[in-house]
Amino acid sequence: MTAKTAMAAGSATAADTADSTDSTTTTPDGAEPRNSVELENITVTFATERGEVTALRDISLAVENGGFVSLLGPSGCGKSTLLRVVADLLSPTAGTVAVLGTSAHQARTSRRLGFVFQDSALLPWRTAVENVRLPLQVGGGTKAVPDAADSPSPEELLALVGLAGRENAYPHELSGGMRQRVSIARALVCRPRVLLMDEPFGALDEITRDRLNEELLRIWEATGTTILFVTHSITEAVFMSQRVLVLSAHPGRVRELVPVDLPYPRTLDVRETPEFTTLAARLRRLLEDC
């Protein structure tokens, strides 16, 4: 595992930081933008040996400030590709992206975006707290982090994700679920306004995944961070989200944006209610038609 892999989770390079001085998170009149993420007619095309392949076509989505939206769809529908477009890790072939009232590039270089991968991508030679501290030590250090003086410390973030007392543990001393908690804490250390999560719990056993679903909802409610969450699990999408964007494949297109009208805070018991079952069945039908 390389330092470059781990640094991608919520950090920027020194050059990026230098370019971020003109970034803004407000509209020209000084008002806070209503939506954290706005995608309009996003198309992504890749060149291959067999010609061009369109991964996404005409994707439009608005995610309000503090919202929780999941991306659900069959394998190959472009869920991760869309997340990479929002994260400024991939440029769209066509369409526009706005994040926090500015470009995706400006949002990333101003360190307002956090990214959590399916693999925790922790550096094995660093303790939990040292892994969380990593984004503060690269890309310009704490001076490049907005409101750094008011940010929770790495120790406080580990406590927030339920790892108080494990600050000095190395990754090999932690379970898979604990490593993902460290990864989430690391993504939060720069106080991102938008948190992008690419199947962060997909490799975990069901019991651990359920616990982290509840934990993430608690963190979301505590921080007010906007979350865009990629998953293959219908149950996870319904349990976590305010809305679920269902994508069809070949190329990835918007099948339907489904509201999840279940009250918060949610516990796992909600999955046994008729309302939850009805929503899950609706999403399953949509996926079967993709």
Residue 130 is predicted with a pLDDT of: 97
Contact partners, residue 149, CB within 8 Å, separation at least 6: none
| pLDDT, tens digit (0-9, with 9 covering 90-100), for 126-169 | 999 999 999 988 865 544 455 555 568 999 999 999 999 999 99
Residue 155 is predicted with a pLDDT of: 95
| pLDDT, tens digit (0-9, with 9 covering 90-100), for 46-79 | 988 888 999 999 999 999 999 999 999 999 899 9
Q: To which CATH superfamily is domain 15-120+192-288 assigned?
A: P-loop containing nucleotide triphosphate hydrolases (3.40.50.300)
d(CA 184, CA 157): 9
Question: What's the rounded mean pLDDT across residues 30-40?
Answer: 85
Block residue for tokens 């970034």 = 23
d(CA 176, CA 269): 24
User: Residues 163, 178: contact at Cβ < 8 Å?
Assistant: yes
d(CA 80, CA 199): 9
Q: Where residue 12 falls among pLDDT bands split at 50, 70, 90?
A: very low
* Residue 259 in this model has a pLDDT that exceeds 60: yes
Ramachandran quadrant class, 158 (left: phi over 0; alpha: psi -120 to 50; beta: rest):
alpha
Question: Which stretch of 21-35, 82-96, 120-134, 172-186 has the lowest confidence by average pLDDT?
Answer: 21-35
Q: Where residue 118 falls among pLDDT bands split at 50, 70, 90?
A: confident
Residue 226 is predicted with a pLDDT of: 97
Residue 193 is predicted with a pLDDT of: 94
Residue 140 is predicted with a pLDDT of: 57
The chain-wide mean pLDDT, for the chain, equals: 86
User: Residues 224, 66: contact at Cβ < 8 Å?
Assistant: yes
Residue 150 is predicted with a pLDDT of: 58
Percent of residues, the chain, with pLDDT higher than 90: 70
Residue-range domain boundaries for the chain: 15-120+192-288
Residue 29 is predicted with a pLDDT of: 54
